[in-house]
Amino acid sequence: MRLEDLHKLTPARLKALNQASIFSVLDLLHFFPRRYLDRNNIKSIGMIRFNEASVTITGKVQQIEEVGFGKQKRLEAFINDGTGILKCVWFKGGKYFQKTLKKGDYISVFGDVKKFGRYWSVAHPEIDKIGENDQISRTQGTVAVYPSTSFFKNTYISSQTITGWMREILEHIQHREFIPPQLLQKYSYPNLNLAYRLIHLPEQTSDYEKARERFAFEELFLFQLAIQTLKISSEKASTSILIDKPGEFTRTFFLSKIPFELTDGQKNSLSDIRKDLASGRQMNRLIQGDVGSGKTIVAIGAILMCIDAGYQAAFVAPTEILAEQHFITLSEYLSGMDINIRLLVGGQKAKLREDILTDISSGGAHIVVGTHAVLQETVNFHKLGIAVIDEQHRFGVAQRAVFQKKAHKPHVLVMSATPIPRSLALTVFGELDISVIKGLPSGRKPIITAIRSDKKRKDVYNFVRDSVNEGGQVYVVYPLIEESEALDLKNATDGYEKLKIEFPNFTIELLHGKMDAAEKQETMKRFSAGDVQILVSTTVIEVGVNVPNARIMIIEDAERFGLSQLHQLRGRIGRGSHQSFCILMAGVKQSKTARERLKAMEQSNDGFLIAEKDLNLRGPGDFLGTRQSGLPDFKHADLLNDQHILEYAKQEATNLLEQNPDLRGDEYIELKKRFLPYLNKRKEFFSTG
């Protein structure tokens, strides 16, 4: 059956469907309702007695007009359902409805009802056009409401018309089930044909809820099959360095070089790594930990195990400042041990670079710390055993894959200080084994975070003055480097000049991304050494910079930053024994989302809780960047709310492939067809990065 065969499908409607990426009847079947109207829960206007929240009312548009002047201008629509009149009001943004709603339209209205003057009223309601007549008022059961005018641009297609098409398709087409019957039975999911009917022609609320779960499970199950297939394939071909016990360097480091007790999270992560290295298979592990949780110690442990076995290590960071910081940290921790550490970044003098490259290729360099420069073709390792990649979210998959060409299956350890909710980790990093470090090393005090307005700036500066006089250091972070007419923001350069006037007796310096590498490194060295008391910076200091004496961070125009970015910035303080404070300077004009972000920062230091909040505010695509993360564009699965389904899908995919890795048998023919597109897209993502 073709789309063109459907009743009442005019050329204009066909064009509108195609523009919405609907080219087949299967595409149309997966065009799910926006919401549902339960006939039994539709409220009559005449039955409203008190202010009521979340009410659904259906009726005809009796009148629609723009009223008032200037700031009082608003759009009003009067809805009549035969029992009374309801007024819908849009104070701003009513132009869309002014164009799309007409007198005589039959619509559903969803929102909070309050009494104003003579009429019950709903401000900024959700509106759906139901159809050209009032048939819904005589419809029993549940009615599907599809995206219409806004979705199909200039061609209006009513929900009634779409429902008619769905009924027509379901009467003529039968679909082959591909989910194993034991899984349908285990989770009480309807079979495929019944699921389509329950989604589009439900009789009661529970019908479409269970059907939607089935389609969400279907997407997640197919995707997890693709991930686990790639993982199994990689493990089969990934014979790697076998390291069955720690050597002298590893024992010396953990017995003599660390003056503190490791946290349980660090111990568990090191245990995971030891098992990986002793398995004879290539390690592909993600270490996920909050800022300051001690991931670097774990990475050093993994590196030393490989050096003990006669191999080299690469430690790659996304920025020169972070690479320099890691180089200093490793040099300090491993001082006195016969381990040669080299720093390789862009812009180094030719003679120095040549010396480093020779050291790497000859095997004289045990550890190479650097930026993307380490990934260049001119860098040839003598015997690379492990690659550690810091801040994984800033590197594409292609960069990670480069190391596979520099040695035969080196172990790969990736680290992220950006906590990722489990639902995303299972999809984005599905091919990796994951270790999580929770909690902070002993002696660290939770950072106190406070939101302040410009009215409190004098108090904030007095607080800074007292802290610096007591020997502390301060970050002041701005979102922009140069003035922008489009955004009413303070900028780092201007702020730097003002702070020099405010604190004439303190040493203040400026750091931003447009400075050359040598300038940035020199500035950070001076700040780390305590020669600079206040560092004015852009977000170039977002990750990795470690100055234990920095006790205060002021973030200007904090409402302009994302939640994860705010948390990363805050992680630059609180790294010493003193109490640290993060002050969020917020503008007067804040969106509701911005206020929620700042409040979340004020209330919690837990990066994983903050990540969950950030995911809820931004959605999965914006949280990581869909293209770079390889996150699929799920039509029905919701990673915010379907985490339990994702857990089922991962477990069932793993179980099935353990029993039947190649999915052999006639009963799996259709399943293989369905998951191949997911597998091919994932392979394509890994090949292009």
pLDDT number for residue 131: 62
Exposure of 89 in the CB half-sphere (CA atoms within 13 A): 17
In a domain, 422, yes or no: yes
In a domain, 655, yes or no: no
Same domain for 135 and 102? yes
- In one-letter notation, the amino acid at residue 146 is Y
Same domain for 424 and 458? no
Q: Which domain holds residue 377?
A: 248-437
In a domain, 557, yes or no: yes
In a domain, 97, yes or no: yes
How far from each other are the two terminal CA atoms of the chain, in whole angstroms?
38
Q: In the β-sheet with 411-416, what is the strand arrangement from edge to edge?
A: 341-344, 367-370, 312-316, 384-389, 411-416, 284-289, 433-437
Shortest CA distance to 495 belongs to which of 462, 530, 454, 537?
Answer: 537
User: What is the DSSP annotation of 400-416?
Assistant: HHHHHHHSSS-EEEEEE
Q: Give every CB contact of residue 561 below 8 A, 6+ residues apart in sequence.
A: 479, 539, 555, 569, 597
pLDDT number for residue 98: 80
Same domain for 425 and 309? yes
- In one-letter notation, the amino acid at residue 615 is L
Same domain for 592 and 473? yes
Same domain for 505 and 418? no
d(CA 38, CA 141): 6
Same domain for 373 and 520? no
> What SS3 state is found at 671?
helix
Same domain for 345 and 404? yes
DSSP strands (E only) in 81-198 = 85-90, 106-116, 119-123, 126-131, 142-145
Supply the CATH number for residue 429's domain. 3.40.50.300
Among 100, 118, 145, the domain boundary falls at: 145
364 within 8 A of 656, measured Cβ to Cβ: no
Please state, in angstroms and as integers, the Cα–Cα distance from residue 669 to each residue in 41, 661, 683, following that order: 44, 14, 21
d(CA 179, CA 376): 45
Number of domains comprising the chain: 3
Q: What share of the chain is helix, strand, coil (3-state, %, to 5)?
A: 45, 20, 35
In a domain, 8, yes or no: no
Residue ranges for the chain with pLDDT beneath 50: 133-140, 394, 485-486, 488, 626-628, 688-689
152 within 8 A of 19, measured Cβ to Cβ: yes
d(CA 36, CA 33): 7
Per the document, the length of the chain is: 689
d(CA 220, CA 622): 19
pLDDT number for residue 230: 82
Supply the CATH number for residue 61's domain. 2.40.50.140
Same domain for 506 and 372? no
User: What is the DSSP annotation of 270-294?
Assistant: HHHHHHHHHTTB--EEEEEE-TTS-
pLDDT number for residue 141: 61
d(CA 267, CA 294): 11
pLDDT (tens digit, 9 = 90+) per residue, 113-125? 998 888 899 988 8
Same domain for 427 and 464? no
In a domain, 253, yes or no: yes
501 within 8 A of 521, measured Cβ to Cβ: no
**At residue 107, what are phi and psi to the nearest 5 degrees?**
-135, 165
Same domain for 395 and 504? no
Among 587, 604, 621, the domain boundary falls at: 604
Report the largest interatomic distance among the alpha carbons of the chain, rounded to a whole angstrom: 89
Among 145, 180, 196, the domain boundary falls at: 145
- CA–CA–CA angle 430, 305, 336 (5° rounding): 130
The first and second tokens of residue 437, run together, are 């470090």
61 within 8 A of 78, measured Cβ to Cβ: yes
In a domain, 645, yes or no: no
In a domain, 237, yes or no: no
Same domain for 525 and 409? no
d(CA 26, CA 170): 11
Same domain for 452 and 580? yes
